[in-house]
Structure 1
Amino acid sequence: MDNRFQQLLHKLEHLPPEKITEVEDFIDFLSQKDREHQMRKDFARGAEASFHKVWDNEEDADYDTL
């Protein structure tokens, strides 16, 4: 294990149980936030393929340079 992880474990060992619960909740929050961010990126990538035909046309070519 790297040193930062060891330091974090050491700090956790000295927290009261109710604070451990808060830390766990915060970790869950961060994980959920990351999953939602990845889901939005995946959705955007999927939408690009769907809209490619609409976006790629001569009429809107001026917007390609923006």
Structure 2
Amino acid sequence: MTALEFRLIERLKQLPPGRVAEVADFVEFLAAREQRAAAIEGLRALDRRLPDDEEMPPDLAEELEEEIRRDRAERRQGNGN
């Protein structure tokens, strides 16, 4: 345990229960905010790896469109999983 963690715990022990609950709520809020920030950064990183429509090679775009058409046709025939 770090010195800071020790000091925080000692201070928490001195607080009335209502204030400890407030501290717990605040800590949960901070943790949730960090999780959201990490999730947003993960989405941004994913977005940076995906090509824009303009950057996608025409052959690849056509190949993807054809694959989608085949998949839809199979589903209409009842063969899609």
Scaled by the length of structure 1, the TM-score of the pair is 0.74
Deviations 1:39-62 (A, max 9, x none): 010000111122x344759xxxxx
Distance 1:30 1:24 in 2: 10
Stretches (4+) displaced over 6 A: none
Cα gap change, 1:55 to 1:43, in 2 (>3 Å)? farther
Larger Rg: 2
* RMSD value, Cα: 1.8
| 5+ long unaligned stretches in structure 1 | 58-66
- Higher relative helix content: 1
1:39/1:55 CA distance change after superposition, 3 Å: farther
> Normalization by structure 2: what TM-score?
0.61
1 or 2 for the larger relative contact order (CA 8 Å, sep ≥6)? 1
Aligned residues: 56
Ranges in structure 2 where 5+ consecutive residues have no aligned partner: 57-81
Structure 1 position 25 matched with structure 2 position 60: no
